[in-house]
Structure 1
Amino acid sequence: MEDLNDTAERQRLRSRLVDLLNAYASEANQIGHAFAGRNHLHGPDLHALLAVMHAERAGTPLTPGRLGEAMGLSSGATTAMIDRLEKGGHLRRSRESTDRRVVHLRYGDAGMALAVAFFTPMAPRTTAVMDQFDVAELQVVERFVQGMVESLTAYRDELRS
């Protein structure tokens, strides 16, 4: 059982971690807006590009329908966004299945080049922070952040219902 000092420290840490996560989200959002502004993207466009990139990294490329569901957009809004991103070279549609009706979304080469050019200067900063932690500590952070993302995703889905 936790003593009063542990309980107080747990509460302090919980509050501080929420504040830090909010600050991180805000700063990441500001950087995302800067990228979007410099590349003439609309607000949801960056979220779509990130969703496509994460799905590709996971080996489960998104279809337009799954992207629309993930973003809470109608089919028409999703198609307009994909058309805009494809025209700008940020995305490409790919038919990789034997069923030619199935379309997957992939990050476009031009869009990837813009993202790499913009975000690469940040890499040494994040690497320097991560280098301060050993593998076991990074695994704990990974588990924590994954749990927080899952809790936010579940709440977002509840709000859409």
Structure 2
Amino acid sequence: MPWATGERLDVVRLVRELTERSSRYADRAGAARGLHRSDLSALLALARAREQGRSPLSPGVLARELMLSPSATTTLLDRLERSGHVERSHDAGDRRRVSLEMTASAGETARSMFGPVAAAMTEAMQDFSDDEIDVVRRFLGAMVEAVDAQDPGVASS
């Protein structure tokens, strides 16, 4: 498949730039609050699971989602538990089974980190009509699907 050219290439570049700047912002905002990138990824995975009705997650499911080893996941969860962002609870019927939940503190931290960006983005959208926003929403959804459809382990020609 040919590469994008002209205005479509500009769009690809802008999407990449937005992704990179968002990533750098998350790194800086997390660092200012003593959170590593892996901490943010874990909290995002837990929040997404809650939104999708898959909560609580087990440490094993979280490890698979983050592509971490069991020991790295334990270290990550220990750090998040110490910082008050995650609670681990043991199943009453099977003490080996552990469930993970984000705390209210994690939600407050997320709002303090990303609330200003969300507000700025909302403000930036004010100059666009509902129809234009719908086109952008459909476009970004298609971009998410395009990325999800790729296998990074296989080179395409």
Which TM-score band applies after superposition, normalised by the shorter structure? 0.7 to 0.9
Letter in 2 for 1:27: R
CA distance, structure 2, for counterparts of residue 96 and residue 13 of structure 1 = 55
Number of residue pairs the alignment of both structures matches: 150
| Structure 2 unaligned regions, length at least 5 | none
Aligned residue in 1 for 2:27: 33
Given candidates 45, 49, 59, the residue that maps to 1:55 is 49
Q: TM-score, normalised by structure 1?
A: 0.76
Distance apart, 1:116 and its partner CA: 1.6
- The SS at the match of 1:41 is coil
- Is the helix fraction higher in 1 or 2? 1
CA distance, structure 2, for counterparts of residue 12 and residue 151 of structure 1 = 20
RMSD: 2.8
Identity of aligned residues (%): 35
| 1:63-74 correspondence to structure 2 within 5 Å | 63-74=58-69
- The SS at the match of 1:159 is coil
Distance 1:15 1:70, change over 3 A: same
Distance 1:103 1:147, change over 3 A: farther
Q: TM-score, normalised by structure 2?
A: 0.77
Aligned residue in 2 for 1:114: 109
- The more displaced of 91-100 and 33-42 is 91-100
Task: Please say if residues 86 and 108 of structure 1, whose CA atoms lie closer than 8 Å, have aligned partners that are also in contact.
Answer: no
- The SS at the match of 1:106 is strand
CA distance, structure 2, for counterparts of residue 98 and residue 107 of structure 1 = 22
Aligned residue in 2 for 1:76: 71
Distance apart, 1:73 and its partner CA: 0.8
Distance apart, 1:49 and its partner CA: 1.3
Letter in 2 for 1:11: T
CA distance, structure 1, for counterparts of residue 93 and residue 141 of structure 2 = 34
Task: Please say if residues 95 and 102 of structure 1, whose CA atoms lie closer than 8 Å, have aligned partners that are also in contact.
Answer: yes
